[in-house]
Amino acid sequence: MWMKSADTLHDNDFCAIVREVAGDLAELVTLVSTFEHPSTKRFSKHYRILYCSPERNITNDEINVIQSQVRDAVAKVPDVELR
């Protein structure tokens, strides 16, 4: 995602959005990398989300739906542009 500044969406706020959407299926949210574009001065953050359930197998179709909902929720944050 692209943001106007590094503080546009705090890591804890992103984790809260993921937990809101995915609930207990989101086991781990990790910030993988950050980047500042040299000319536009916009910031990019890349997260990895680990989904897991000790009770049952999770299908790719289920995760795809959750990922779509997470993207939709993050897209509503002001000054955030999804890549």
**DSSP codes joined into one string, the chain:** -EESSTTSS-HHHHHHHHHHHHGGGEEEEEEEEEEE-TTT--EEEEEEEEE--SSS---HHHHHHHHHHHHHHHHTSTTEE--
pLDDT at residue 19 tops 90: yes
Per-residue pLDDT reduced to its tens digit, 20-74: 999 999 999 999 999 999 999 899 999 999 999 989 999 999 999 999 999 999 9
Chain centre distance of CA 73: 9
CATH superfamily, domain at 2-81 = Ferrodoxin-fold anticodon-binding domain (3.30.70.380)
**Which band of pLDDT confidence, cut at 50, 70 and 90, is reported for residue 6?**
confident
Distance CA 1, CA 83 (A): 5
**Which band of pLDDT confidence, cut at 50, 70 and 90, is reported for residue 5?**
confident
